[in-house]
Amino acid sequence: DIQMTQSPSTLSASVGDRITITCRASQSFSSSSWLAWYQQKPGKVPKLLIYKASTLESGVPSRFSGGASGSEFTLTISSLQPDDFATYYCQQYYSPPWTFGQGTKVEIK
């Protein structure tokens, strides 16, 4: 099974900051297409932000971007907004079981 390891587990940042969350897969994918990022706020269901590692879901602000290099994937928020304080999860769809990372909580500094 592919393990997905996110870092950091918690990130403290201020409005306007540029932040990057990393998700590392325990094995490389033949293509970066099989990675998605979700945002979850307390008491809410997750929201799809990015799929195919770097394709923005419809309606998601352009300050969100995704990248991939080998087995390492990144989610970057270029200028953190108040609405962005939440927990973020990566998930691989390369090979079942389709595992999530453990989550990264983005907190207000």
Partner 1 sequence: QVQLVESGGGVVQPGGSLRLSCAASGFAFSRFGMHWVRQAPGKGLEWVAFIRYDGSSQYYADFVKGRFTVSRDNSRDILYLEMTRLRVDDTAIYHCAKDLMRGYTYGVDYWGQGTLVTVSS
Q: Which of 51, 66, 73, 77 binds partner 1 (CB under 8 A)?
A: 51
**Does residue 93 bind partner 1 (CB under 8 A)?**
yes
Q: In angstroms, rounded to a whole number, what is the distance separating the alpha carbons of residues 48 and 63?
A: 15
Strands 10-13 and 104-108: parallel
**Does residue 60 bind partner 1 (CB under 8 A)?**
no
Cβ proximity to partner 1: between 82 and 96 the closer is: 96
Q: In angstroms, rounded to a whole number, what is the distance separating the alpha carbons of residues 68 and 45?
A: 25
Q: In angstroms, rounded to a whole number, what is the distance separating the alpha carbons of residues 10 and 45?
A: 20
Q: Which of 73, 80, 89, 106 binds partner 1 (CB under 8 A)?
A: 89
Q: In angstroms, rounded to a whole number, what is the distance separating the alpha carbons of residues 64 and 49?
A: 8
Q: What are the residues binding partner 1 (CB under 8 A)?
A: 1, 33-34, 36, 38, 40, 45-46, 48, 51-52, 57, 87, 89, 91, 93, 96-103
